[in-house]
Amino acid sequence: MDMRRLNNMTKLATVAIATAAIVGLATSASAGDKRHVKIGTEGAYPPFNAIDSNGQLVGFDIDIAKALCDAANFECEFVVQDWDGIIPGLIAKKYDAIVASMSITDQRKEVVDFTEKYYQTPARFVAAKGAGFDISPDGLAGKVVGVQRATTHERFLRAKFPKAEVRTYATQDEANADLVSGRVDLVMADSVALLDGFLKTDPGKDFEFVGPGYNDPKIHGEGTGIAIRKGEDDLRQAFNAAIDKIRADGTYKKINAKYFDFDVYGPTS
Amino acid sequence: MLDFKGYEWVFWEGAKITLLVGLSAVPVALVLGLLGAWGKLAGNPIARAIAGIYTTIVRGVPELVLILLVYYGVTILLQQLLKLATGGDVTVDIDPFTAGTLTLGVIYGAFTTEVFRGAFLALDRGQTEAARAIGMSRTLAFRRVILPQVWRYALPGLGNVWLVLIKATALMSVVQLPELMRMADVAARAVRMPFTFYFGASIVYLLITIVSLQVLHRAEARANRGIRRA
């Protein structure tokens, strides 16, 4: 094994262990002018947060978190944490904020507070390249659309495209497989799931996104936010202000363009 | 040959943490096991009650729950207590390695207790009596006569506890320890090759088991020296 990799990995292990380790007792009043903020993330949800083959944290969440820390004038440090313990870790103060593609849901709101959303990936249709469908409620009349059952996407299709023939599948992969074999004309799902799980793979090479991105708050939810311990409004407000700042100054756009060729922020409220 | 896409290091680094946590937990489990067995076999009713409560609770609650309780629960509890005591906001941090080692040690100490209890019971009472009769003190009798023989009876059971313990380290990922299973998961998700990486991880666990069995076999042979096989 080459040493660079070993060093990077050791670094990662030390980040994970040492960040939580050292401190012992520390009051939350920080010394110096920059506030020290620890960010918890999962490191296993590409392309949002993952660990690359050099052992470094990479991804959309990571770049956004770094940009937010710059905008808020925080000194930030990442703690890598398995998803199962990510909220308990926040509550036990192993870190101060979770930036890990966490959807804002009512259940989670009972135990943590959320900032405003920092992304909301739209739902999209995928069809064979050059199929030329007219993506409208009437244009899709009689067309067969594959979708994963019991998802927000199925609800959305039945509500907004009532004339299309909806065929439901247990997993998105099965729907994609039937699109390849021609049993369905289109599939609908989360755009990132489709991009990474299908379009970028070999079976998906002859297919493309068609039509616009869809985001209906009533059906698709509120998006993805940063989780903060309940009652820490200072930090939450600071992150909200930072999100507005990077949205306004073009930083967000740059990071968006690095990972996706469409707008992941979703509708502005 | 399997292609790990440049992520070969996850096995190496993961196995290192896995072995480190596992090996660090063993002394804790051994000490707790000896104390527990002593408590259960002692005439003292309080010691017996404590040992009984310990093994019942620990063997009855899933490992994952105990890990979460120790790492997060104890931290939150300490923070709340200090907040009450000082009035200020205090952050207490238990380092994940220490928490993981202690939790595993406490859990497997309960299983070790039963292994040692069985081993003590297997030992003929006459051994203690003979040692005392030739004038050995209680500690000397324990060290020279009892422990070496108890060790011999306990080794197969202890080996078993070790093999289970090393696999239980996989649960430590919930407390930020990047052990073997967690690292394999990280790499598997990054390159979307779950089977390749889980297969690789299972081979590493198997290797650890094979080496452990060799060591245990030698230790048993050594503990059995001077004993004629029936």
Of residues A99 and A170, more confidently modeled: A99
pLDDT at residue A269 in the model: 65
Q: Is A203 on the interface with B (CB under 8 A)?
A: no
pLDDT at residue B80 in the model: 86
User: Partners of A113 in the beta sheet?
Assistant: A228
**Tokens found for residue B102:** 């202690």
Per the CB < 8 Å rule, is B91 touching A23? yes
pLDDT at residue B158 in the model: 96
What is the average pLDDT across A130-151? 93
Average pLDDT, chain A: 87
Measured CA to CA, the distance from residue B101 to residue B27 in angstroms comes to 10
Which residue bears the tokens 């959305």? A156
Q: At what angle do helices A60-72 and A233-248 cross, to 10 degrees?
A: 100
What is the average pLDDT across A220-234? 93
pLDDT at A24 over 60: no
Per the CB < 8 Å rule, is B187 touching A51? yes
- The verdict on whether omega for the bond into residue A137 sits within 30 degrees of 0, i.e. cis, is no
* pTM over 0.80, yes/no: no
Count Cα atoms within 13 angstroms, Cβ side, for A156. Answer: 24
CA-to-CA dists, residue B26 to A47, A94, B168, B206, angstroms? 39, 27, 13, 19
pLDDT at residue B68 in the model: 85
**Tokens found for residue B107:** 């859990």
pLDDT at residue B153 in the model: 94
pLDDT at residue B45 in the model: 94
Q: Which residue of A has its CA nearest to B98?
A: A21
The residues in A 70-129 lying below 8 A from B, measured between CB atoms, are 79-82, 84-85, 88-89, 91-94
- Give the H/E segment covering residue A62: helix A60-72
Per the CB < 8 Å rule, is A82 touching B174? yes
| Backbone angles phi and psi of B135, in degrees to 5 | 95, 10
pLDDT at A2 over 60: no
Q: Is A22 on the interface with B (CB under 8 A)?
A: yes
Least confident stretch, A54-68, A85-99, A241-255, B63-77: B63-77
pLDDT tens figures, A65-91: 999 999 999 999 999 998 888 999 999
What is the average pLDDT across A148-153? 88
pLDDT tens figures, A204-213: 999 999 999 8
pLDDT range class, residue A23, cuts 50, 70, 90: very low
Average pLDDT, chain B: 91
Which residue bears the tokens 């009713």? B45
DSSP structure class, residue A161? -
Q: Which residue of A has its CA nearest to B83?
A: A27
Measured CA to CA, the distance from residue B57 to residue B76 in angstroms comes to 21
Optimal mutation site among A15, A94, A198, A200, interface B, most CBs of chain B within 10 A:
A94
User: Partners of A77 in the beta sheet?
Assistant: A38
**Tokens found for residue A75:** 């000194």
Looking at the predicted complex, does its ipTM rise above 0.90? no
Measured CA to CA, the distance from residue B68 to residue B52 in angstroms comes to 23
pLDDT at B170 over 60: yes
Nearest CA among A99, A42, A34 for reference residue A65: A99
The distance of B74 to chain A (nearest Cα, Å) reads: 9
pLDDT tens figures, B44-85: 999 999 999 999 999 999 988 888 888 888 888 888 888 888
pLDDT at residue A184 in the model: 97
Per the CB < 8 Å rule, is B189 touching A45? yes
B chain contacts of residue A94, beta-carbon cutoff 8 Å? 75, 93, 176
DSSP structure class, residue A119? B
CA dihedral A41, A47, A50, A52 (to 10 degrees): -150
Measured CA to CA, the distance from residue A11 to residue A32 in angstroms comes to 25
Per the CB < 8 Å rule, is B89 touching A50? no
pLDDT at residue A86 in the model: 92
Size (chain A), residues? 269
Angle at B20 between CA B16 and CA B24, to 5 degrees: 175
Residue A193 burial class via C-beta count within 10 angstroms: exposed 0-12, middle 13-18, buried 19 and up:
middle
CA dihedral B67, B68, B69, B70 (to 10 degrees): 50
**Tokens found for residue A137:** 């409620």
pLDDT tens figures, B112-126: 999 999 999 999 989
Alpha helices in chain B (DSSP H): 9-41, 45-60, 63-68, 74-86, 96-122, 125-133, 138-141, 147-168, 180-191, 194-223
pLDDT at residue A262 in the model: 83
Q: Which residue of A has its CA nearest to B99?
A: A21
